[in-house]
Amino acid sequence: MEFGRAAQTVYTMWLREMIRFSRSKSRIIGALATPLFFLVILGTGFSSAFQVRGGGTFDKSYLAPGLIGMSVLFASLMGGVSIIWDREFGFLKEILIAPVSRFFVSLGKAIGGVTTAMIQGILIMIIARLIGIHYVSFWGVLAGIGIMFISGIGFIGLGIAIASKIESHEGFQMVMSFLTMPLVLLSGAFFPIANLPGWLKVFVYANPLTYAVEALRYFLLGKSFISIWLCIAVLVIFSTAMISLGGKLFGKMRA
Amino acid sequence: MLYAIETSGITKRFEEVTAVNNISISVKPGELFGLLGPNGAGKTTLINMLSTMIEPSGGRALVWGHDVVKEADMVRQNIGVVFQDTTLDDRLTGRENLDLHGRLYGLNGKTRKSRIQDVLSLVELTEKADVIVKTYSGGMMRRLEIARGLMHHPHVLFLDEPTLGLDPQTRLHIWEYINKLNSEEGVTILLTTHYMEEADRLCDRIAIIDYGQIVALDTPQDLKNMLGGDVITLGLEDPGDVGKLCGTYQKNGCANIVTGKQNEVFITVDNGERQIPHILALASQAGIHIFSVSLRKPTLDDVFIHYTGRAIRDKEVSGMEEVGYKMRSRRK
């Protein structure tokens, strides 16, 4: 019975995210447009301007895993911090007053947010394929989707934790700009991380998104700089820690 | 279980302010109980404590037999809450809002379906059920919230200012629903309001709350009776007769309180409408000519002024309220 109730709670919160997602078509298009602009424009620009070390032109395929990682990061963080909007528009009270476990509420919200992030990631993957990016294997693509899930859970946990601590939506804007841009730029989404100077290396290696992007690169393109096992280990630890933290802070949250 | 809601010395302090100060109330199952007080009196804080949204700083409270702190989940299962501000998801339809609520309270699919039908027809929103809530009017949203609060058959329903900001017609409608709920579904209702009329028309009993404390608690009728009865105002042609007429009535002992002012005499009596003929007869016996008579039943406004020394909303002090003040000072 307890399990049934927990599953029901998770499903309910997931269902809500899905209904809301299906109604926000403009948001989906907007979310897809940014990484695709990067891919097409930046990809073409880089190819024509740079030579890769050891000769040959820059292959825009290199950008695809980074952009998928970036869109998963954006969608997941947004999914987590959307709790701020729930508080702003009052719906949070409806959840907090229900006789259900807060932990499963936040888990449901997380899985809902991750689902939307994965849908966006997969759409970008498909569009990238259509504009000529080749993936190494079907199994690699499936594994890549798995990576989207694990890293998405981590970022959404982080989002929920932040949302539980932030008092207003003004603070949210600041956190988003101080968090998302550095995470993306320091992840190796746009440049190879092999020969970075020491100070930059520290930041890049401390960034969980780096491991998500590297893992995606391994599974989709067949090569990565960081070992795939290290990537998976880091992502699993990061996600478990973040979702626990998010669930814990959400449990203490007041409307 | 004797009481649906029982608090003993419940208190809430926020840093410097004591929002709720040592309140003890007992609400019987099936009762429609009102908390009447001005904004900032502590009504919402009290509801927030009883509905487990915030923890009390002192005292304890049982709702449907469960402690609001130690058994919060049991309390939550047994209550419905309609907050002052909307808590609907405005991107969803009315039906989806109700359905999600039913799921969170563990109702199965079949129960949800039939219950959604029931509560929608109760608040007359069946036709708007599949419209996105964003397009609803304020009154429709409030009705949907009431419907949602009832989805899981709560034993106790908390309504925080249920008609705040609604137009008079919608307000009348909401009052009907509240009465219907209370009489047909037997739900115990605790509502807060700062509208006198609302408290008077709806509630079985009213607690007047001011600065976090209960200053009076009784049925609306008894609260009004406490003021000493109805007020008859007589208008005299000759202001010089006022003193004489007051003396006549005092001598005859037919009134509880008699006061005079300029060319008017105010008489506080029980059953005013029955006393008028006798009062007029006494006046004509004394040879005093009366050119106007009016009877005024006390309202909760008068009661509120009596207990707190001020009107619930800032407004001009009318003649009747002056009488209220006078009666108050006489009693002291």
Instruction: Please give the ipTM for the structure prediction.
Output: 0.85
Q: What angle do CA B274, B276, B277 make, to 5 degrees?
A: 90
The CATH number of whichever domain residue B228 belongs to comes to 3.30.70.790
- Kindly report the CA angle at B146 between B140 and B147, in degrees rounded to 5? 85
Q: Which residue has the higher pLDDT, A239 or B122?
A: A239
Mean pLDDT of A228-238: 95
Whether residue A24 is predicted with pLDDT greater than 80 in this model: the reply is yes
Tell me, yes or no, whether B245 and B175 share the same domain. Answer: no
Determine the Cα–Cα distance for residues A150 and A111; give it in Å rounded to an integer: 10
B73: nearest CA partner in chain A: A99
Q: Is A12 an interface residue toward B (CB < 8 Å)? A: yes
Query: Which of B220, B248, B267 is a domain's end point?
Result: B220
pTM of the model: 0.81
Comparison of pLDDT for B16 and B255, the residue scoring more: B16
- What pLDDT, on a 0 to 100 scale, did the predictor assign at position B324? 36
Same domain for B194 and B248, yes or no, is: no
In this model, does residue B325 exceed pLDDT 50? no
**For residue A95, which amino acid is it?**
I
Lowest mean pLDDT among A5-19, B187-201, B262-276: B262-276
**Count of C-beta atoms within a 10 Å radius of residue A111:** 20
Per CB-CB distance under 8 Å, the chain B contacts of A89 are: 86, 89-90
Over residues A217-232, the mean pLDDT reads 90
Answer whether residue B8 shows pLDDT above 90. Answer: yes
Using DSSP bridges, classify how beta strands B188-193 and B156-160 pair: parallel, antiparallel or unpaired: parallel
B170 and B256 inside one domain: no
What's the pLDDT at B331? 38
Secondary structure (3-state) at A150: helix
Domain ranges, residue B243: 224-331
Cα A163-A166-A172 angle, rounded to 5 deg = 75
Cβ pair B200, B220 in contact under 8 A: yes
What's the pLDDT band for A99 if we cut at 50, 70, 90?
very high
Selected residue with higher pLDDT from A102 and B261: A102
Range B156-161 average pLDDT: 94
- List of chain B residues whose C-beta atoms are within 8 Å of the C-beta of residue A15: 100, 103
**Is the pLDDT at B58 greater than 60, yes or no?**
yes
- Whether residue A131 contacts residue A39, with contact meaning beta carbons closer than 8 Å, is answered with yes
Share of chain B above pLDDT 70, in %: 92
| Residues of chain B with C-beta less than 8 angstroms from the C-beta of A99 | 73-74, 76-77, 104-106
- Whether B78 has a pLDDT exceeding 80, the answer reads yes
Give B-chain residues touching A98 at CB under 8 angstroms. 76, 101, 104-105
Q: Does B68 touch chain A (CB under 8 A)?
A: no
For the record, the structure tokens of A254 come out as 């007041």
Question: Which of these, B293, B285, B306, B225, lies nearest to B265 by C-alpha position?
Answer: B293
What gap in Å lies between CA A79 and CA A107, rounded to an integer?
A: 12
- In angstroms, what separates the C-alpha of A5 from chain B's closest C-alpha? 7
Pairing of strands B79-82, B156-160: parallel
Q: Measured between CB atoms, does B92 come within 8 Å of chain A?
A: yes
A217 or B15, higher pLDDT: A217
SS3 call for B317: coil
Which residue, among B99, B65, B64, has the nearest Cα to B79 in the 3D structure? Answer: B64
Q: What is the pLDDT of residue A153?
A: 94
pLDDT at B249: 81
- pLDDT over 90 for what percent of chain A? 46
What is the residue type of A139?
A: W
Are residue B121 and residue B40 in the same domain, yes or no? yes
Query: 3-state class of A116 per DSSP?
Result: helix
Residues B196 and B271 in one domain: no
Q: Tell me, what's the pLDDT at B284?
A: 86
Does A96 contact B53 at a Cβ distance shorter than 8 Å? Answer: yes
CB A75 within 8 Å of CB A123: no
CB within 8 Å: B53 and A99 = no
The yes-or-no verdict on residue B247 having pLDDT over 60 is yes
Exposed, middle or buried, B246 (CB in 10 Å: 0-12/13-18/19+)?
Answer: middle
Residue B128's pLDDT band (boundaries 50, 70, 90)?
Answer: very high
Residue position matching structure tokens 């379906």: B113
Best interface-test mutation with B: which of A97, A106, A116, A254 has the largest number of B CBs within 10 A?
A97
Asked if B224 contacts B303 with a C-beta cutoff of 8 angstroms, the reply is yes
CA distance A139 to A66: 19
Q: How far apart are CA B101 and CA B147, in angstroms?
A: 11
pLDDT at B316 over 60: no
Report how far Cα A124 is from the mean position of its chain's Cα atoms.
13
Percentage of chain B modeled with pLDDT above 90: 47
**Among B21-30, B80-89, B293-302, where is mean pLDDT lowest?**
B293-302
pLDDT class for B313, splitting at 50, 70, 90? Answer: low
Q: Domain residue spans in chain A?
A: 2-251
**Which residue, A231, A185, A202, A235, is CA-closest to A70?**
A185
Question: pLDDT-based confidence at A255, cuts 50/70/90?
Answer: low
Assigned token pair, B205:
């009993």
If asked whether residues B210 and B278 sit together in one domain, one would say: no
Do B273 and B156 belong to one domain? no
A120-154 per-residue burial string, b: 16 or more CB within 10 A, e: under 16 = bbbbbbebbeeeebebeeeeebebbeebbbbbbbb
CB pairs under 8 A between A and B: 65
B84 lies in the same domain as B164: yes
Q: Mark yes or no for CB contact A99/B77 under 8 Å.
A: yes
Last residue of a domain, one of B220, B246, B274: B220
Count of structural domains within chain B: 2
Phi, then psi, of A88 in degrees rounded to 5: -60, -45
CB contact under 8 A, B89 and A255: no
Q: Hey, how many other C-beta atoms are within 10 angstroms of the C-beta on B172?
A: 12
With CA atoms as reference, report the closest residue to B13 among B39, B33, B42. Answer: B42
pLDDT score of A186 more than 60: yes
Co-location of B49 and B162 in the same domain: yes
**Average pLDDT of chain A to the nearest whole number:** 88
Mean pLDDT computed over A24-46: 84
Helix (H, G, I), strand (E, B) or coil at A195: coil
**Shared-domain flag, residues B39 and B69:** yes
CA dist., res. A241 & res. A249, Å (int) = 12
The more confidently predicted of residues B291 and B227 is B291
CATH (domain of B160): 3.40.50.300
Q: So what's the pLDDT on residue A195?
A: 79
Better-scored residue on pLDDT, B309 or B324: B309
Q: Quick one: A229 exposed, middle or buried, by C-beta within 10 A (0-12, 13-18, 19+)?
A: exposed
Check residues A131 and A146 and name the one with the higher pLDDT.
Answer: A146
- Closest alpha carbon within chain B to A16: B100
For residues B312-324, give the mean pLDDT.
41
CA distance B175 to B172: 5
Task: Give the domain-ending residue among B169, B186, B220.
Answer: B220
In this structure, the answer to whether residues B75 and B38 fall within a common structural domain is yes
Please say if the pLDDT value at position A141 is more than 50.
yes
Say which residue, A255 or A91, is predicted with more confidence: A91
Structure tokens at B309: 């020394």
* Mean predicted confidence (pLDDT) in B159-169: 88
Averaged pLDDT, A238-252: 91
From the list A8, A91, A99, the residue facing B73 with the nearest CB is A99
Dump strand ranges (E) for B107-212.
Answer: 156-160, 188-193, 205-210
Per-residue confidence (pLDDT) for residue A55, from 0 to 100? 60
Q: Please provide residue B47's backbone torsions phi and psi, each rounded to the nearest 5 degrees.
A: -60, -40
Question: Touching check for B95 and chain A: CB below 8 Å?
Answer: no
Averaged pLDDT score across all residues of chain B = 86
**CA proximity to B116, closest of B131, B101, B106:** B101
Q: What is the pLDDT of residue B319?
A: 38
Where would I find the H helices in chain B? Answer: 43-50, 72-78, 94-104, 109-122, 138-150, 168-180, 196-202, 220-225, 242-252, 272-285, 300-308, 319-331
